[in-house]
Amino acid sequence: MTSIHKFKIEGIDGKEIDFSGFKGKKILIVNVASECGFTPQYQQLQELHEEFKDILVVIGFPSNDFGGQEPGNNLEIQEFCSLNYGIKFQLTTKVNIKTSPRHPIYEWLCRKDLNQKLEAEVNWNFCKFIIDENGHLVSFFPSAIEPASDEILNQITA
């Protein structure tokens, strides 16, 4: 499978997120957490969502795999994101990224033999993947690269 468009996942609100509906748009996938030093990146993610909504889909994947920094349930995560950052972009249900069983989307994102592009290791919260309009993985950025950095903006607007 070389396209992310074949995946579906449950959204934090219980509704299905079908990646085939994102054909023609770039996708920014970020593993998120509410109690991390990088949590303020939610603000830039929301700004990207607003500024580039015609060409970009931002999706946050809450995970408690890194330092236990996302201990809340789906409702608590939703409330935190809404109250503190006004998040309107899509969030998935809480997933495993590092621990077993790793969610199939992250299996695809991290393994070159599946994504046909690169090998990636998500080693902390707020790592970022960029997917092109055809559902192919383009880039991986570690936590310290901010969502509104030139490196990411150049990928979004390319």
Active site members = 36
Contact yes or no for 68/36 (Cβ under 8 A): no
What is the dihedral sign for C-alpha 35, 32, 122, 95?
A: positive
Measure CA 108 to chain center: 13
Closest CA to 63 of 30, 88, 97, 87: 97
- Closest alpha carbon to 17 in 2, 33, 6, 32: 6
